[in-house]
C-alpha cells in the first residue's frame, strides 16, 4: 500500500495547551477486530494494522471493553515490532459489561478511571496512552470529577491528552473548563448530522477536534452492502433500529445519490461517503473501521477525492438530516447518550 496519508498538528485554543497533538487525516477504528460485527480474522486484523501504519495512519482507536480487553491485547501484539512513539493510541474506558458481553452501564468515578487505566497500560504493554476518554457520560458522576481524574493521570505522565465521547455541547464546555478537551469522538456521517446544530460549533470554539465514527453509517453507506444477504452471527447491527424491518430498505434507498456521484468520479460509494466527511473541515478526523486490508485501501482512496460544492449540496438535498428511518442505537442505548439527551 504505497501511499502516505497526510497528518495535521492541532494546537487547540490559544494559551490553554502545553503541547500540540498531531493526527493523520484518517484514523483506524479497531473495534470490529474484536467485537460487534461477528468473528474477525486475527491474522488479517494484525496485517490491517500494519498496513495502516505503513500508509501513515498512525492513529489507532480502541476501548478497554472491546472484546472485554481482547482489542487492547490484539493491538499490543500488532505493535510489538513497532516504535511506541510512532503510534497514537486512543482508548475509551468506563463501559461495564457482563460475561455475555451485554452492557451494564458506566463507571467514571475517579478511582475507577485510574483503575481502568492501570489495566489498559498492562494489556497494551505501554507506560502511557496518547488519549484517554470516557466512553459515555456517567450520569452518577459529575463530568468535572471524571475529567479531573484524567487530568491527574496526564500530570503523572500516564496519559498525554483528554478526550470525550458522545457528549452534549454543554457537557463539553463544562469539561473544558477543568482541562482542555483535545478531541470529541462522536458519530458523524451523511446519515447522522445532529452534531452540526450545537456540538460541532462548541467544539470549534474550544479548539476540540472531532473524531468521527460511523462515517459509513455502520455499513449502510458502503459500496458492498447490497451484496450482503444477512448479517453475520454476533453482528450487533441486527439489533439496531436502522437495520430492522422496513427501516433497512428505506435507509438504503437514501444512498442512491452516493452511488450516482461515485459513478461520475469512477470511484466507490464508500469513498464518496468518506470524502463527504473529510470535506466538512480539517478539524474532523474520520475513523475507518476496516477489518481487512482491502477495506483500508478503499478508504485511503477517498483522500484523493475533492467533492465540489455542487456535489455536497446534492448529497445534502438527497439525504435530509431527518430522513433516516430509525434511531442510530436501540432506545435503551439512546438514553445513555448525553449527546442526544443532554442540554444543547
Catalytic residues: 66
SS3 at position 94: coil
The 10 Å Cβ neighbour count of residue 77 is 14
Between CA 22 and CA 51 the distance in angstroms is 20
What is the end-to-end Cα distance of the chain in Å, rounded? Answer: 43
Residues whose CB falls within 8 Å of the CB of residue 313, separated by 6 or more in sequence, listed in order: none
The 10 Å Cβ neighbour count of residue 133 is 29
Residues 91 and 129 sit within 8 Å (Cβ to Cβ): yes
Residues whose CB falls within 8 Å of the CB of residue 340, separated by 6 or more in sequence, listed in order: 166, 194, 334
Q: Contacts from 319-325 at CB under 8 Å and sequence distance 24+?
A: 319/190, 319/191, 319/254, 319/255, 319/257, 321/193, 321/194, 321/196, 323/254, 324/191, 324/192, 324/242, 324/251, 324/254, 325/241, 325/242, 325/246, 325/247, 325/250, 325/251
- Exposure of 77 in the CB half-sphere (CA atoms within 13 A): 14
For strands 21-24 and 7-10, give the pairing.
Answer: antiparallel
3-state helix, strand, coil in the chain (%, to 5): 45, 15, 40
What are the backbone dihedrals phi and psi of residue 296, each rounded to the nearest 5 degrees, phi first?
A: -65, -45
Q: Considering only CA atoms, give the Rg of the chain.
A: 19
Cell triple for residue 103?
A: 452492557
Amino acid at each position: 500500500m504505497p501511499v502516505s496519508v497526510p497528518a495535521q498538528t492541532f494546537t487547540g485554543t490559544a494559551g490553554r495547551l502545553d503541547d500540540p497533538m498531531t493526527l493523520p487525516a484518517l484514523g483506524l477504528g479497531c473495534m470490529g477486530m474484536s467485537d460487534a460485527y461477528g468473528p474477525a480474522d486475527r491474522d488479517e486484523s494484525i496485517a490491517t494494522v500494519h498496513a495502516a501504519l505503513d500508509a501513515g495512519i498512525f492513529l489507532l482507536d480502541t476501548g478497554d471493553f472491546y472484546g472485554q480487553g481482547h482489542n487492547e491485547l490484539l493491538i499490543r501484539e500488532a505493535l510489538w515490532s513497532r516504535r511506541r512513539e510512532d503510534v497514537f493510541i486512543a482508548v475509551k474506558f468506563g463501559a461495564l459489561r457482563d460475561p455475555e458481553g451485554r452492557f451494564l452501564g458506566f463507571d467514571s468515578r475517579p478511582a475507577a478511571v485510574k483503575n481502568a487505566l492501570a489495566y489498559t497500560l498492562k494489556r497494551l504493554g505501554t507506560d502511557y496512552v496518547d488519549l484517554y476518554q470516557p466512553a459515555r457520560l456517567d450520569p452518577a458522576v459529575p463530568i468535572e470529577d471524571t475529567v479531573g481524574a484524567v487530568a491527574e493521570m496526564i500530570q503523572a505522565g500516564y496519559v498525554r491528552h483528554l478526550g470525550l465521547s458522545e457528549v452534549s455541547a454543554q457537557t463539553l464546555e463544562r469539561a473544558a473548563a477543568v482541562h482542555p478537551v483535545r478531541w470529541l469522538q462522536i458519530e458523524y456521517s451523511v446519515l447522522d448530522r445532529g452534531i452540526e446544530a450545537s456540538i460541532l460549533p462548541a467544539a470549534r470554539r474550544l479548539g476540540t477536534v472531532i473524531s468521527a465514527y460511523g462515517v459509513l453509517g455502520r455499513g449502510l453507506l458502503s459500496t458492498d452492502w447490497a451484496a450482503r444477504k444477512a448479517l453475520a452471527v454476533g453482528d450487533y447491527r441486527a439489533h439496531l433500529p436502522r437495520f430492522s424491518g422496513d427501516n433497512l430498505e428505506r435507509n438504503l434507498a437514501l444512498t442512491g445519490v452516493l452511488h450516482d456521484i461515485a459513478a461520475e468520479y469512477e470511484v466507490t460509494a464508500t469513498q464518496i461517503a468518506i470524502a463527504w466527511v473529510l470535506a466538512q473541515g480539517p478539524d474532523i478526523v474520520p475513523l475507518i473501521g476496516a477489518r481487512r486490508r482491502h477495506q483500508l485501501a478503499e478508504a485511503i482512496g477517498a483522500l484523493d477525492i475533492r467533492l465540489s460544492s455542487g456535489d455536497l449540496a446534492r448529497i445534502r438535498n438527497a439525504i435530509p438530516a431527518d430522513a433516516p428511518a430509525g434511531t442510530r442505537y436501540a432506545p435503551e442505548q439512546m438514553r445513555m447518550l448525553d449527546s442526544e439527551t443532554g442540554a444543547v
